[in-house]
Amino acid sequence: MALILAALDTSGGIDIVNAGQERPYIYRKNTRQATALPLPGIVLGAKRNIEYQEHRIELDSEDIILLCTDGVKEQRSQHGEEFGRERIIKLLNHYAEREPAEIIRKMFANFDKFSPGTKEDDRTLVIIKRQ
């Protein structure tokens, strides 16, 4: 089972523990660039007595954390092409100035255009945008 745990605090920080989930993405308002965060983690139950690392990320005003399931990255076009991290990053860069609910709507519209029809896996997005 994959899991990602994210705990926000009032100072604008977020602590993330990743247990086999798709990498989180971060959009930095000051650079206007999104990247995939290299936060590795083994799925729950794969090994005994494993210790998961907590990663601290400080968010500035208007920065965004995007959490998603692997079904987002791995969805395929009618030609078998994977959506991939680069497309997720491009969409996050393009829609970052919008409100979180609209970012999600716009991203799903792009997903559906890329991969119409029945989906093979779940596609879940969570947007955390610091005000």
Query: Per-residue pLDDT averaged across 28-46, rounded?
Result: 95
Q: What CATH number has the domain bearing residue 75?
A: 3.60.40.10
Average pLDDT taken over every residue of the chain: 95
pTM: 0.93
Q: What pLDDT shows up at residue 95?
A: 98
Question: Is a pLDDT exceeding 90 seen at residue 120?
Answer: no
Q: What pLDDT shows up at residue 76?
A: 93
Q: What pLDDT shows up at residue 121?
A: 87
Domain limits at 102? 3-129
Instruction: Convert the chain into a string of H (helix), E (strand) and C (coil).
Output: CCEEEEEECCCCEEEEEEEECCCCEEEECCCCEEEECCCCCCCCCCCCCCCCCEEEEECCCCCEEEEECHHHHHCECCCCCECHHHHHHHHHHHHCCCCHHHHHHHHHHHHHHHCCCCCCCCCCEEEEECC
Question: Is a pLDDT exceeding 90 seen at residue 118?
Answer: no
Question: Is a pLDDT exceeding 90 seen at residue 112?
Answer: yes
Question: Is a pLDDT exceeding 80 seen at residue 119?
Answer: no
How many domains are contained in the chain? 1
Confidence bin at 117 (pLDDT 50/70/90) = confident
